[in-house]
Chains A and B, each alone.
Chain A
Amino acid sequence: MPTWSRRSPPGWSWPMAEKKMVDVFSDVERETAMTANPAGYAVTELGAEDERIVTLAADMSNTVAEFIAKFPERYIECGIAETNSVSLAAGLASAGLIPYIYSMSPFGMLKTCEQWRTDVDYNHLPVRLVGRLSGLAMGYFGTSHYAVEDIAIARTMNNTVVLSPGDAASCVSLMRSTASLEVPVYIRIAEAVSRVYDEAPDYEFGKWPRLRTGSDVTLIGHGMGLGLCAAAAEALYEHDSIEADVFDAAYLRPYDETALLASAAKTGHVLTVEEHSVAGGLGSLVAEAIARAGLSVRLGQVALPDKDLEVGVPADLYEYYGLTPSNVAAKARSLVRR
């Protein structure tokens, strides 16, 4: 019979991770309510202006705590039942309300994809699905908690606007500018974003703001990919005199095909950067648009491979999969010099 001891063997110690999971939730940038939880902050502001706005969450009430405090009667807790939350919201919207559903990304667009398509998208209802903790944000919780296929799914929906803000200010601005849309909206929230904008841009429907102008390479990112593009562009200019056109692809559906094709034709090199699978996301839509237009362009993708992913704290995973400014710069360099 083996004997089990609660004590560790002598001389044994726990290998402490250098970067802890908790870092994801306590980024130094997040000093205000807005930067800590921009999607929760924005809906509270919008809710004060439009009483048709209601929020729903499936065991995610903490993310709309401020809204609940101000408008308790307009919050609908759904328990751990995401599919019900989406169809329920469709019913609310059909009766004239504007529901914002807050869910963890893997259990939002992924688990409820069919409810979203059939009840919300096909019926053109103004429901908003806000997916927090997208991509690899839930790190070592395991691959069940990853959401790296959600954009691929969302952008095949016929009537859904797909948004992926690149930082907190852009999130608030995007939510504000889409609040009155009479169509479904999916808002994918990345947690590991860095500050890109000092002031939030005014987003025009379906347009990609340009962060920087150059003629050597086109860098396009959404979510955390936007900050990576901005940082890489800076480094490319400083160290290699490579000048990059940089676009904020916050709108993934519809997307800015005009800006994309004009820039691609100009630079001849296009690199997309995203915390999403290589299959079906920004990289795919850019490749499709360029192929359709018949442009002869070198394409590169910094994204997650479409195979079983590793598990670990997000910061380590980003390093492992090359979602870093230095890797984006290296990819851009090799694309240009190939």
Chain B
Amino acid sequence: MPADITLERGRALTEAELLRRADWVRLQTIDLIAQAGLGHYSSTFSCAELVATLYYHALRLRPAEPNWPDRDRFLLGKGHVATGLWPVLADLGYYPHDWLKQFGKVGSPLNDHPNMKLAHGIDFSSGSLGHNLSVGAGMALAARLTGRDYRTFVLTGDGELQEGQVWEAAMAASHYKLGNLVAIIDANGFSGAGPTSQAMNIEPLAKRFEAFGWTVREIDGHHAPVLLRTFDELPDPASEEPVAIIARTRKGHGVEFMEKQPQAWHLGLLNAEQYADVVAEISARMELANG
């Protein structure tokens, strides 16, 4: 792909394609985890539609020029779901598909959490929860200081919002009027050890972000038309209120037995029988969508 080819914001993506893309992310994730021997299934599945919407519709990108200064930034605050991002970045041409075969191996640029120094297309490293909204605010502020109109998106989990630093960042983002910053909360209701509400309640999320001076959109994070519309209708990057998209999602979405036991599949490894069942379940849905 020539360096100056820009994937523009709002490029065509039908609702069916979006959902099929999300399922493709799930299938790829299952294979990558099988190869590595352990991985984060259910929290990757909760944000598969969000990732598909961002990379195939909403973000302005130049895959052949990963450091293009005017690209939209995407930060994976919940870094443990990078498994779902690697096939997408390979698909867009950031690096060869072959790299996926090295996933999880010593010396591979692709790890369970993303490292910006190793893989093209990663705008910032993550893995330590609570950092990336601050980093994203820094990028958004840099856009203001350098007169650029890129947007910065930060995908966080809902458990991640228990980290105090998130609220320091939320405060700074509204103080500096960063309408070019979009936080996407994958509100799947669970952290690693159990329901977020039992560990440390973070609700009411919309009111909390509003109280910090953010524009809030609360949506169904799996519903294609709503996802497309929400990202199409984002306020102009020059506007003055940062935007929080609270995406209500299901942890393990798209695989029935994981939806029923989302916590058990936060970190795990499918056995051969389960693997076959999951692949069959997702593939059948994709074929159905293909008509």
| Residues of chain A at the chain B interface (Cβ within 8 Å) | 54, 73-74, 76, 78-79, 81, 83-84, 86-97, 114-115, 118-119, 122-124
Question: Which of B116, B142, B169 contacts A95, CB < 8 Å?
Answer: B142
**A78-B172, A81-B171, A88-B134 given as contacts; is B143 within 8 A of A122 (CB)?**
no
Q: How far is the CB of A266 from chain B (nearest CB, A)?
A: 41
B64: Cβ under 8 A from any A Cβ: no
Residue in chain A with minimal CB distance to B133: A87
Q: Once the chains bind, are A87 and B131 in contact (CB under 8 Å)?
A: yes
Q: Once the chains bind, are A95 and B138 in contact (CB under 8 Å)?
A: yes
B37: Cβ under 8 A from any A Cβ: no
Q: Once the chains bind, are A83 and B145 in contact (CB under 8 Å)?
A: no
Bound state CA distance, A92 and B175, in angstroms? 16
Q: Once the chains bind, are A87 and B165 in contact (CB under 8 Å)?
A: yes
- Collect the chain B residues with CB atoms within 8 Å of residue A124's CB: 117
Residue in chain A with minimal CB distance to B165: A83
Q: Once the chains bind, are B69 and A118 in contact (CB under 8 Å)?
A: no
Bound state CA distance, A44 and B164, in angstroms? 32
Bound state CA distance, A92 and B171, in angstroms? 17
Interface positions of B from 87 to 129, Cβ below 8 Å from A: 115-117, 123-125, 127-128
Q: Once the chains bind, are A91 and B117 in contact (CB under 8 Å)?
A: no
- Collect the chain A residues with CB atoms within 8 Å of residue B139's CB: 91-92, 94-95
Residue in chain A with minimal CB distance to B169: A84
List 17 additional contacts besides A87-B169, A91-B135; criterion CB under 8 Å: A54-B145, A79-B171, A81-B172, A84-B165, A87-B135, A87-B138, A88-B135, A88-B137, A90-B135, A91-B138, A91-B140, A91-B142, A92-B138, A92-B139, A92-B141, A94-B124, A96-B142
Q: How far is the CB of A328 from chain B (nearest CB, A)?
A: 41
Q: Once the chains bind, are B136 and A91 in contact (CB under 8 Å)?
A: yes
Q: Once the chains bind, are A119 and B137 in contact (CB under 8 Å)?
A: no
Q: Once the chains bind, are B127 and A88 in contact (CB under 8 Å)?
A: no
Question: Which of B124, B128, B140, B176 contacts A114, CB < 8 Å?
Answer: B128
Q: Once the chains bind, are B145 and A84 in contact (CB under 8 Å)?
A: no
Majority secondary structure, B binding face: helix
B271: Cβ under 8 A from any A Cβ: no
B168: Cβ under 8 A from any A Cβ: yes
Q: Once the chains bind, are A123 and B138 in contact (CB under 8 Å)?
A: no
Q: How far is the CB of A125 from chain B (nearest CB, A)?
A: 9
Question: Which of A86, A91, A114 contacts B141, CB < 8 Å?
Answer: A91
Q: Once the chains bind, are A118 and B125 in contact (CB under 8 Å)?
A: yes
Q: How far is the CB of A123 from chain B (nearest CB, A)?
A: 6
Q: Once the chains bind, are A83 and B127 in contact (CB under 8 Å)?
A: no
B146: Cβ under 8 A from any A Cβ: yes
- Collect the chain A residues with CB atoms within 8 Å of residue B175's CB: 79
10 CB < 8 A contacts A-B: A83-B134, A83-B165, A84-B165, A84-B168, A90-B134, A91-B135, A91-B136, A92-B142, A118-B125, A119-B135
Top 9 A-B pairs ranked by shortest CB distance?
Answer: A91-B138, A87-B134, A95-B142, A84-B168, A91-B135, A81-B168, A88-B138, A91-B139, A92-B138
- Collect the chain B residues with CB atoms within 8 Å of residue A123's CB: 116-117, 124-125
Q: Once the chains bind, are A118 and B117 in contact (CB under 8 Å)?
A: no
- Collect the chain A residues with CB atoms within 8 Å of residue B146's CB: 95-97
Q: How far is the CB of B69 from chain A (nearest CB, A)?
A: 7
- Collect the chain A residues with CB atoms within 8 Å of residue B136's CB: 91
Bound state CA distance, A103 and B146, in angstroms? 25
Interface positions of B from 33 to 91, Cβ below 8 Å from A: 69
Bound state CA distance, A73 and B142, in angstroms? 11
